[in-house]
Amino acid sequence: MSPQARRVESLHTDKGYVPVYTTAVVEQPWAQYTPVEHDTWARLFRRQREVLDGRSCGEFFANQERFGMNAEAIPRFDDINAILARSTGWQIVGVEGLLPELTFFEHLANRRFPVTWWIRKPEQIDYIAEPDLFHDLYGHVPLLLDPAFADYMQAYGRGGVKAHGIGADALMYLTRLYWYTVEFGLIRQRDGLRIYGAGILSSKGESIHCLESAAPNRIGFDLMRIMRTRYRIDSYQKTYFVIDSFEQLMRATQPDFTPYYRELASLSTIAAGDVLDGDAVIQRGSGEGWSVDGDV
C-alpha cells in the first residue's frame, strides 16, 4: 500500500478548487513506492523520451542523463541531490504538493526546488490537474543543472519573496512570468524552436501542439508584455513566448522589478491569444479550437 499525501484543506479561488497541502518538507518514501507506481513512471518516461526527441531543448536529455534518470525506477531524491550539489548547488526537497506562494518562493530563493513525492494514478497518465512527481522531477529538475537557468530560478524566488511584500498585483505579474517561461517556455536553438517549459515537457499532447500546431501564437520573449498577458489553465496555451537563451532570461530578471510593477498598474492586461503591433511574431496563430473565454 502506497502512503497517502496529507492534504489538509481545499480552497475555492479564482483558479478554481485548489488543494492545500502541509508545507513541511518530507522524506521521499522511496521504499514504499509500489510496482504500479514505478511502472507509471516507466510508461511516462518512455513515452516522453520518444515524443521529446527533436522537440526538447538540447540541455534536457543531456541533463537527465547526467542525473542517471531512466525508465527503470522512480529516481531517488538523494541521488539527484548528490549530482546537483556538485554542479549548480541546488537541492530538491520532497513536498506533499502545491505550496503557498511565499513558502514556494522562499525555497527557490535558497536554491531548493520542491518536488511532489507522489506520482499520479495509472488512469491519470494523460492528464492530471495538479503537479505530481512526474511533472516536477521529469519536467523541472533537469534544467536545474544549467547554470544560467539555475540562477534565473533563484532570482525568480527572490523576486517572489519581495513581490509578496508588495501585494497581490505584483504576485500576479510574477506568476504570469513563471507560467510563460518555467512552465510553458520555448527556446530558439540552432536547429529550430525547442521546448524548455516543464508544463509542456511533462505533457505528450502539448509537446506536439506547441511546436507543430497552427493554432497558437509564437512570440519573442518580452518581459513586460508577458507580465501583462493572461493565460490558460484548462487547455493548451494560446500563445508561447520564445527566448533565445537562458542568459536572456537571467538578464531580464537582474533589475529590481518595483518600478515595473508601478508601470504595469497603468497598462491594460492582454488576452491570452492577442497579438500586438509591437510583438516579435514568429507565428501568428490561426486560433483554431480556442475557447472564447476562460483566460486567468
List of residues contacting Fe ion (CB under 5 A): 198
- 99 vs 215 by CB, closer to Fe ion: 99
DSSP string, 167-210: -HHHHHHHHHHHIIIIIT-EEEETTEEEE--HHHHT-HHHHHHH
Taking the C-alpha atoms of residue 268 and residue 264, their distance in angstroms, rounded to an integer, is 8
Q: What's the closest the beta carbon of residue 254 comes to Fe ion, in angstroms?
A: 23
CB of 178 to Fe ion, least distance (A): 8
Cell of 93: 526537497
Of 72 and 130, nearer to Fe ion (C-beta) is 130
Q: Which is nearer to Fe ion, 195 or 198 (CB)?
A: 198
Closest CA to 242 of 206, 194, 174: 194
How would you classify the pairing of strands 217-220 and 192-195?
Answer: unpaired
E-strand stretches of 31-164: 91-95, 112-116
Q: How far apart, in whole angstroms, are the C-alpha atoms of residue 175 and residue 160?
A: 9
- Least distance (Å) from Fe ion to the CB of residue 77? 17
Q: Are strands 186-189 and 239-243 parallel, antiparallel or unpaired?
A: parallel
CA atoms within 13 A on the CB side of 189: 15
Our CB check for Fe ion shows the closer of 104 and 173 to be 104
Q: Cβ of residue 293: shortest distance to Fe ion, in angstroms?
A: 24
Least distance in Å: CB of 154 to Fe ion? 16
User: Which CB atom, from 153 or from 219, has the smaller least distance to Fe ion?
Assistant: 153
Task: Quickly tell me which residue has 529538475 as its cell.
Answer: 141
Taking the least distance from each CB to Fe ion, the nearer of 97 and 285 is 97
- Distance (Å, rounded) from C-alpha 234 to C-alpha 227? 19
Tell me whether residue 93 or residue 198 sits nearer to Fe ion (CB atom): 198
Residue closer to Fe ion, measured from CB, 101 or 279: 101
Q: Using DSSP, state whether 82 is helix, strand or coil.
A: helix
Query: Is 209 in contact with 51 (CB distance < 8 Å)?
Result: no
CB of 197 to Fe ion, least distance (A): 9
Query: CB nearest Fe ion: which residue?
Result: 198
Q: Which of helix, strand or coil describes residue 79?
A: helix
Which three cell numbers, joined as nine digits, stand for 142? 533537469
C-alpha angle 117/119/125, rounded to 5°?
Answer: 160
State the minimum distance, in angstroms, from the CB of residue 180 to Fe ion: 13
Question: Minimal distance in Å, beta carbon 139 to Fe ion?
Answer: 6
